[in-house]
Amino acid sequence: MRIIGTGSQLPKKLVTNDQLAHFIDTSDEWIRERTGIEQRHVMTNETLEDLAIAAAKNAMDDAGVLSTQLDYIICSNMVNEYVVPSMASIVGGHIGSQCPAYDLNAACTGFLYALDMADVLLKAGRAEYILIISAEEPSRIVDWNDRSTCVLFGDGAAAVVVTKGNSLRSIKVSSKSDKSVLYYRRPLEPTPFIIRDKNTGPLCMNGKEVFKSAVSSSLRDMQYVLDKAEITKDDVTYYVLHQANLRIIDFIRSHFEAKQEQIPINVNKYGNTSSASIPLLLDELNRDGKLRKGDILVLSAFGAGFTSAACVIEWNKSAN
Residue 256 CA to residue 258 CA, distance in Å, equals 5
Q: Do 152 and 214 touch, CB atoms closer than 8 A? A: no
Q: Which is nearer to ligand COA, 97 or 272 (CB)?
A: 272
- Binders of ligand COA among residues 242 to 261 (CB under 6 A) are 244-245
The CB-of-82 to ligand COA minimum distance in angstroms stands at: 23
Helices assigned H by DSSP within the chain: 17-20, 28-35, 48-63, 87-95, 110-123, 147-150, 207-228, 246-255, 267-270, 277-287
Helices assigned H by DSSP within 202-275: 207-228, 246-255, 267-270
Catalytic residue among 17, 58, 242, 245: 242
Q: Do 272 and 152 touch, CB atoms closer than 8 A? A: yes
Residue 102 CA to residue 84 CA, distance in Å, equals 10
- Binders of ligand COA among residues 81 to 140 (CB under 6 A) are 108
The CB-of-244 to ligand COA minimum distance in angstroms stands at: 4
Q: Which is nearer to ligand COA, 163 or 277 (CB)?
A: 277
The CB-of-267 to ligand COA minimum distance in angstroms stands at: 10
Query: CB-hemisphere CA count at 13 Å for 294?
Result: 2
Q: Is 150 a catalytic residue?
A: no
Residue 202 within binding range of ligand COA, rule CB under 6 A = no
Q: Is 108 a catalytic residue?
A: yes
Residue 85 CA to residue 314 CA, distance in Å, equals 35
Residue 151 within binding range of ligand COA, rule CB under 6 A = yes
Q: Which is nearer to ligand COA, 300 or 316 (CB)?
A: 300
Residue 27 burial by Cβ neighbours in a 10 Å radius (0-12, 13-18, 19+): middle
Residue 248 CA to residue 215 CA, distance in Å, equals 6
Binding window for ligand COA (CB under 6 A); candidates: 122-130, 187-195, 209-217, 306-314: 209-217
Q: Which is nearer to ligand COA, 250 or 295 (CB)?
A: 250
- Binders of ligand COA among residues 272 to 291 (CB under 6 A) are 272
Give me the amino acid identity at 165: G
Can you tell me which of 13, 16, 30, 255 binds ligand COA, judged by CB under 6 A?
Answer: 30
Residue 22 within binding range of ligand COA, rule CB under 6 A = no
Binding window for ligand COA (CB under 6 A); candidates: 46-54, 85-93, 148-156, 185-193: 148-156
Give the three-class secondary structure for 219.
helix
Using the CB atoms, write b or e for 285-315: b if 16+ within 10 Å: bbeeeebeeeebbbbbbbbbbbbbbbbbbbb
* Angle, helix 277-287 to helix 110-123, in steps of 10 degrees: 70
Q: Which is nearer to ligand COA, 35 or 139 (CB)?
A: 35
Q: Is 242 a catalytic residue?
A: yes
Catalytic residue among 75, 99, 108, 150: 108
The CB-of-126 to ligand COA minimum distance in angstroms stands at: 31
Residue 32 within binding range of ligand COA, rule CB under 6 A = no
Q: Which is nearer to ligand COA, 270 or 315 (CB)?
A: 270
The CB-of-319 to ligand COA minimum distance in angstroms stands at: 34
**Which residues participate in catalysis according to the annotation?**
108, 242, 272
